[in-house]
Structure formats: C-alpha cells, structure tokens
Structure 1
Amino acid sequence: MKSIAHAAPDVDVQAAPKLHKRNVALDRARTFLTLVVLLHHAVIPYTYFGHTDPTSWIGFDGVVLATDSFFMAMFFFLSGLFVWPGLGHKPWLIFLRDRLLRLGLPFVVCAVTVIPLAYWAIELRHTPGTSFGEFWRKTMTVGPWPAGPIWFVWVLMAFDVTASLLYRISPRLLDPINRLSLKGFERPSKFWLFLVVGSALLYLPLLVYFGQNRWFEFGPFSVQASRVLLYASYFFIGAGIGAAQLESGVLSAHGRLTERRWFWTGVTLIPYAMMWVMIYVKRQVIGNPDPLPSWYLAIYGTFFVLFSASILFAILAYFLQSKASGPTLLDRMQADAYGMFLVHYPIVLWLQYWLFDMDLPAIAKAAIAFFATVALSWAATAVLRKIPGAKYVL
C-alpha cells in the first residue's frame, strides 16, 4: 500500500493573507504540484514500482521515480514559507486553532470517510463481494487503517505546532537561515548547497538505519521513517526563507535564481540519471537484496537529496520568472487545489479499478485516470466549497 501513498496537501502559501500580497508564482507552483500528485497516483499501477494492472509502460517508471523523489519535500518547503510571519501576527492560540481547522478537521473527516472509500476498491480486487460497511468496520476496529496521501496533513500539523513552540522560545531562531537566503539573491548556489547538506545530514542516517520501506504507523497516523526528518528540514528551511524579506532573498523574482533557470534544469538531470544507474546496480548487479546494503542506500540517498534540491530550484525558478498574465488554468484551479488533494484518492483508485479489465494500453489507461481524476476532483471540490463554512477548511 505504501507505494501508492505518497501525495500532497495543504500547502498554505499564504498563511497570513491579510499581511501579504498574494505571491502568484508560489500559488502557481503549489497548484502545479497538486496536479503532479494526481499524475503520480494515476500512473503508479502501470509501472514496475507498483505494477498492479496487467499493462505497464517504462516511461511511467521515469515519472514516478522523479515525482516520488521531490514533490513531498517541496510541498513541505512551500508550506513553511509563511509560517513565521503568521506566528508573528497571530496570537499563539489563534494560530493553533486555525491549523486545527485547516488541517486537523480534514484529516479526521478524510480518515473515516474518503480513505476507506478509496481502499475499498483495492479490497474488492482481492476479495470480491465485500460490502463497504463490512470493510469500513474492519478498517476502524481491526485494521490496517491506512492513511493514503492524507498522512501529509497530520505531519504538516505536527510541524506547525513545533514551529509555534519554537517561535515562543525565540522569534529570531531562524534568522541565520534568513540571512543565508538574502545572500542567495545573488548566489543561489550557496543556498542550494546549504539545502543539500542540511537535508542530507538529517536524511541519510535514517535511510541507512530504517531502509526505504519502513513506516511509523499508529492507526491512520503514519509517516515514512527514513524521510520524516528530511521533510522537517525542508519545512523549517522554507520557514527560514519566509521569516523576513521574502522578496529580497533567494526566492526573489528579480534574483539570480530566475536568470539561471536553464542551468538548474540541467543540474537536475545529473542526479536523476545517477538514481537510474543505482537502480540498475540494485536489480542487475547485486540482485535486489532485502535489506539493501548500507553503502547502496547511502549512495542512492545522496543522489536523491541532490535531485530533490535541484528540481525544487528549477521549478521555482520557472514560476518566479514566468510573465504569464492571469488568470491561467493554474490560477483558476488555485483555490480548489487543497480540496482536490483531499478528495482525489478514491476517485483515482476507483477509476483504476474500472479500467483494470479493459483491453487498453497502459498510456491510454493512465491518461483516462489522470484527466478524469483532475476533472472529477475539481468538480467535487467546487461543490463541497459551496457548503456554508467549507471555504474556511477547503
């Protein structure tokens, strides 16, 4: 189940909307990543990684390797950008109340409704005839109780609570990161190196110790063991950038990052290619052992960290320099992006359930699953947001 549980979330890039002019570039980046999440889940059954359909296509393996290696870290990064200003302008309890409303309530509702409905499709593939009521009772009482993609929501809430406590200790705690961000206006490579080294120090030891597949689980509360500190590093580094003078730092639309967007795109290709080399070594040279040797995990994890940081810079450079006048498709979708994340999982799994027995090539099945998931989850979110009070949550 965990191979299809990597997805993304409420990246509230405007945690304090009354205090900041909306950053269109970051809004578009967030919405783009939400679509990447839907694409990720739409193609997984047709890959070597999650081959649960009779058909497959090697190109989807390339898609999944890329998306799984960066988009969750990037979502946490974007989620952290406006946390520090929000804490500075909201009373502590008000901030926590807002996070519970925006994150805690959707997590609880989805954990007992949306997620069981999604995994019922998988249960029916293995045990035909199981009623939803029977499956729901088993999930709630006996387990397992998978979280699917909404694991992100409770982890983000935990990071927000941690940030609020750290802010009470010292509002200037992230000043060193912010100063480095200001230097990154002219030298983004220095900040990139900081991101690589900082995330590697927190990620590689856990990866070597726990391996790639270990998850911490307690009911619907789950998180990938090797990546929890990686995600924390991206969240708090993002918070450091946003602590002050966001427009004057590494993410300035007028900084060197945007001028060298093609350079960062090229840099991204090197660690991505090396991850494929390591996958070849794992399968063809060392025979796919379980557990994987520590040396292998350390080398692969290093390329993973390099790719994650590089593609984050490449994507942000593209959106920060984009001169497209709105409203674009991403602008129109922006308000519904979080809701689309919350409701898309049962939609995509049931579409894949119905497509399973159809005599179609993998590319056709994935295209149907992706575009239908986008359309249906967008429509469902638009309807849900018409419920009184729902816009404060979705």
Structure 2
Amino acid sequence: MVISVSQSAAAAKVELQSPPRTRARNAALDHARTFLTLVVVLHHAVIPYTYFGHTDPSSFIGFDCIVLATDSFFMAMFFFLSGLFVWPGLKHKPPQVFLRDRLLRLGLPFAIAVLTLIPLAYYAIELRANPDASFSAFWWKTVTVGPWPSGPVWFIWVLLAFDLSACLLYQLSPTLLDPLNRLSLRGFDRPRVVFLFLVAVTAILYVPLRVYFGPNHWFEFGAFSVQSSRVLLYAAYFYIGAGIGAANFERGLLGAEGQLSQGGLPRWIIVTLIPYCLLWGLIAVKRLVLGNPPVQPDWYEAAYGLFFAVFSAGMMFCILAYFLNNRRSEFSVLDRMQADAYGIFLVHYPIVLWIQYWLFDFNLPAVVKASIAFVGTTLLSWGATWVLRQIPGAKNVL
C-alpha cells in the first residue's frame, strides 16, 4: 500500500488566489496552475512505485526521476502563483472582506478536508496493516489521539497563514513590496536578474534550515503540519510572487512582451538540468559512498539544499516561460479543467490512495499501475469536483 512520502509531496492544486476583477484573467498563469494540479496528481500516483517510497511490490526507476523533480519545485511554485494576486486583492478589498474571503476559500475547505477526506485517505493505509479496523474507530483515534496527518492539504493552512501575514503587512505599509516590484520591472528585459535573486534568497533561507532540521522533519500540531526546513523557502516564493504582482504587471517579469514570454526556453532547460543532475550525483554519493546513513553530514545537506534551490527556481522559470510563450495557443484540456483545479487538488488524495490499495495485490508492471492510478484519479477527482460545484454556494468555495 502507499503512503505519500513526505507530505510535501504531497502535494497540491493548490488553492491559488483568484485574480482581482480589475485585471483580466491571464491564460498563461491559468494554464500553469492547472498543469501543476496535474503534476500533483502524477506525483502521488507514482510514489508507491519508486525506490524512495517503495510501498508496492512493483517499481520503476523512471518514477524516482519524476518524484525527485516534482518534490523539488511544485509546492514552492504554487506559493509563488498564489502570491501574485495578494497585493492587488488587498488594494481593492477592505481587510475584513479580504480575510473573510480567505477564510471561506481556504479555512473552510481545510477544516472539512482534515475531518473527512484525509482520514478516509489514510484509512486505506490502516487497512493494509489492520484489516479488521473500522473506519469510525480509526477516525476517532486520528482526531483524538493521533497521529493526524494532513496529507497535501497542509498547503492550504500555510497559504492562509501567509495571506493573513500579508494583510497585516499591507496595513502597515502598502509600499512594502515596491523594491520587489522594481526588480520585476528589471526582469522584463533581463529575467535572469530575478532568477538569480530568487536563487540567492531561497538558498540563504533554505540551506541553514535543512542543515539544522534535516530533510524530513515536520512541524506538527494536530492536523497542522509543515516541513520545517522549507517553511521560509515557501514564504520567500509567496512574497516574491506578491511583489511581482503588486503593480506594473504587464511591464514586469511576466509581461506578455517581456523576455521570459518571448522564448529562451532551451536556455532555462539547460539551467535546470544542471542542478537536477547534481542532485542525482549527491544521491549516488549518499548510497554508494556514505552507505546511505539515516543522517547525512552537514556538507551533504548544504550542497543538496543549494542544488535544490537552483533547481526549484529553474523549473518554475521553465514552466512560466513555456506557458507565457504559448499563451495564445489552444490548451483545451487545461482550459476546461481550470475551474475545477482547486477541487481536484482537494479531493484527489483519498481517491489515489484507494486506487493504489486496490491495485496492490495485482501482479502488474509499475508503469501500468501508475498509469491506472493517474488517469483514474484525474477523471474521478474531476468528476467529483464537478458534482460538488453543483451544490448551491459551492462555487464560492471551490
């Protein structure tokens, strides 16, 4: 049976702030965040069939390549995309209205998910270890005794916390992010300036925490959890996104006529592949030279954290460059899924775990199992979201 390997992987649409009505929807960003939702589903669909999360008899080394890549960038990019629309939202809404909307859009789904969907998801894992366990007993133990994992929806409460902090900071100084916005203006012609700034800031914030906490430590309080080493990295992505989105959007990094939108994708791919290969090199050193110890030397964690920061930023720039350059192209599937992407993120986790539970005893290749899990989870999550959105008032939340 499968347990999603770090909850970060877990993954996640992720609720991305809706653009304010004063700005026309950006098709490229819509495509990017819907694409990332599918990446979240893929991430969870393949984890059991990897060396890292080998909880199924079948495995495939190619899935390790996927998980290493996805776990290293997609949650950070979700925070970046979410941050883009925070400052404009605060400009056009009184703080009490902004907070009410965030509580409705983030707080309510989080509360419902951790009380229903997440216990239902982990019940599939409990049955593998204890086939006679009843769901009611498992649910009561989860919410009273614990552990109470939040799965991928940890993202939602952390995003809500960032939104609340942004609301407070905006009240203190609406011009607080102007330096980041000026940096975005420079990024219109020279996106590498923003890239290097992002790498520098995230490396400074991430590497020391990774050395101190290690890669797998989570802060946990009931259903509230977050990966300790990454919390400041996520905050950096969120606030850099907020600074880029604060003003002058079309004259900044993500402008339609900017250099990032005009091509150069091959260069960003090369920039991204270098740290990715170096990450694999460090993994080989850990397994073949260090003997795969449970705790790595500080130099190892520092080097890994640096390559992680470069790869994470590079992947985000690759995805943004691709979708910005193809904003006028037809992405019919992504367009049709866009309205349901948040719901897919919320409901996919129990679906993928139960599909994997059902597949466990079948003697099938890992590629076949993962394909069934990915396609089945995507379609069922999409259908479930569509049904939920027909409930009166549900579209205000989902």
What range describes the TM-score normalised by the shorter chain of this pair?
over 0.9
Q: Which residue of 1 aligns with 2:65?
A: 62
Distance 1:302 1:179 in 2: 26
Q: Which amino acid aligns with 1:199?
A: T
Q: After the TM superposition, which residues 268-347 of structure 1 pair with which residues of structure 2 at under 5 Å, given as runs? A: 268-326=272-330, 328-347=332-351
Out of 2, 5, 14, which is 1:3 matched to?
5
State whether structure 2 residue 16 is matched by structure 1 residue 12: yes
The 3-state SS of whatever aligns with 2:174 is coil
State whether structure 2 residue 256 is matched by structure 1 residue 264: no
Please report how far the alpha carbon of residue 205 of structure 1 lies from its aligned counterpart in structure 2 after TM superposition.
0.8
Q: After the TM superposition, which residues 81-92 of structure 1 pair with which residues of structure 2 at under 5 Å, given as runs? A: 81-92=84-95
Question: Over residues 319-361 of structure 1, what are the superposed CA-to-partner deviations in whole Å (9 max), with x where a residue is unaligned?
Answer: 0010544461000000000000000000000000000000100
Equivalent residues of 1:4, 1:41 under 8 A apart? no
Distance 1:289 1:393 in 2: 45
Question: Over residues 358-391 of structure 1, what are the superposed CA-to-partner deviations in whole Å (9 max), with x where a residue is unaligned?
Answer: 0100000000000000000000000000000000
Question: Over residues 3-58 of structure 1, what are the superposed CA-to-partner deviations in whole Å (9 max), with x where a residue is unaligned?
Answer: 15221133434342x11100000000000000000000000000011000001000
Structure 1: which 5+ residue stretches go unaligned? none
State whether structure 2 residue 49 is matched by structure 1 residue 51: no
The 3-state SS of whatever aligns with 1:217 is strand
Q: Which residue of 2 aligns with 1:201?
A: 204
State whether structure 2 residue 138 is matched by structure 1 residue 135: yes
TM-score (norm 2): 0.97
Please report how far the alpha carbon of residue 76 of structure 1 lies from its aligned counterpart in structure 2 after TM superposition.
0.3
Distance 1:305 1:392 in 2: 35
Equivalent residues of 1:9, 1:153 under 8 A apart? no
Deviates more, 1:268-277 or 1:321-330: 321-330
Equivalent residues of 2:4, 2:44 under 8 A apart? no
Distance 1:108 1:123, change over 3 A: same
Structure 1 ranges of 4+ moved more than 2 A: 9-15, 323-327
Distance 1:40 1:231 in 2: 19
Equivalent residues of 2:28, 2:327 under 8 A apart? no
Q: Which residue of 2 aligns with 1:357?
A: 361
Q: Which residue of 1 aligns with 2:194?
A: 191
Out of 361, 375, 380, which is 1:371 matched to?
375
Distance 1:266 1:201 in 2: 23
Distance 2:190 2:331 in 1: 32
- Cα RMSD for the two superposed structures: 1.0
Distance 1:323 1:28, change over 3 A: closer
Q: Which residue of 1 aligns with 2:172?
A: 169
Equivalent residues of 2:218, 2:227 under 8 A apart? yes
Q: Which amino acid aligns with 1:220?
A: A
Question: Over residues 95-124 of structure 1, what are the superposed CA-to-partner deviations in whole Å (9 max), with x where a residue is unaligned?
Answer: 000000000000000000000000000000
Q: Which residue of 1 aligns with 2:128?
A: 125
Equivalent residues of 2:16, 2:78 under 8 A apart? no
Please report how far the alpha carbon of residue 255 of structure 1 lies from its aligned counterpart in structure 2 after TM superposition.
1.1
Deviates more, 1:196-205 or 1:1-10: 1-10
What is the identity percentage for the equivalent residue pairs of Structure 1 and Structure 2? 66
Equivalent residues of 2:27, 2:327 under 8 A apart? no
Equivalent residues of 1:9, 1:150 under 8 A apart? no
Distance 1:148 1:136 in 2: 15
Deviates more, 1:2-11 or 1:68-77: 2-11
The 3-state SS of whatever aligns with 2:5 is helix
Q: Which residue of 1 aligns with 2:388?
A: 384
Distance 1:113 1:14 in 2: 25
Distance 1:327 1:147 in 2: 32
Q: Which residue of 2 aligns with 1:213?
A: 216
TM-score (norm 1): 0.98
Please report how far the alpha carbon of residue 290 of structure 1 lies from its aligned counterpart in structure 2 after TM superposition.
2.4
Please report how far the alpha carbon of residue 270 of structure 1 lies from its aligned counterpart in structure 2 after TM superposition.
0.4
